[in-house]
Amino acid sequence: METELADEGPLTTEHPDSWAVLADKGYQGLAADFRAITPFKKQPLRELTFEQMETNDRIAHDRVLVENYFGRLCTLWAMCSDKYRWDEGNYDMFFSCVCSSHQFSCANSSTTQ
């Protein structure tokens, strides 16, 4: 299981039992409370270092996978793209059902999107 995998990612010492959240530059302050991995932001009149640009490229590479997944969810399942107006207590259950249904349909389709 995932608990057996070595986690050598960023912020593991600050948040040892947390999943990492890949966020864009708009969520810079999120790392104060969560294990958020955000790209480096260019400071005024300063350029990013080569290492910072490489880190940003790696984060962007991983975020593309997440963005594509949520894009497919929003295209196929209206619940993911519209405002949720039902009982908030049921949202997690419905969202889990949508994700499970999506995974099932991807695993059993003849073509992969």
Task: Provide the sign of the torsion angle of the four alpha carbons 78, 87, 18, 49, taken in this order.
Answer: positive
Confidence (pLDDT) at 2: 54
Q: What are the pLDDT digits (tens) for 41-81?
A: 999 999 999 999 999 999 999 899 888 988 988 888 888 88
pTM score, whole prediction? 0.64
Show me where the domains of the chain are located.
1-38, 42-113
Distance CA 34, CA 32 (A): 6
Q: Tokens representing 101?
A: 């249904």
Distance CA 6, CA 63 (A): 21
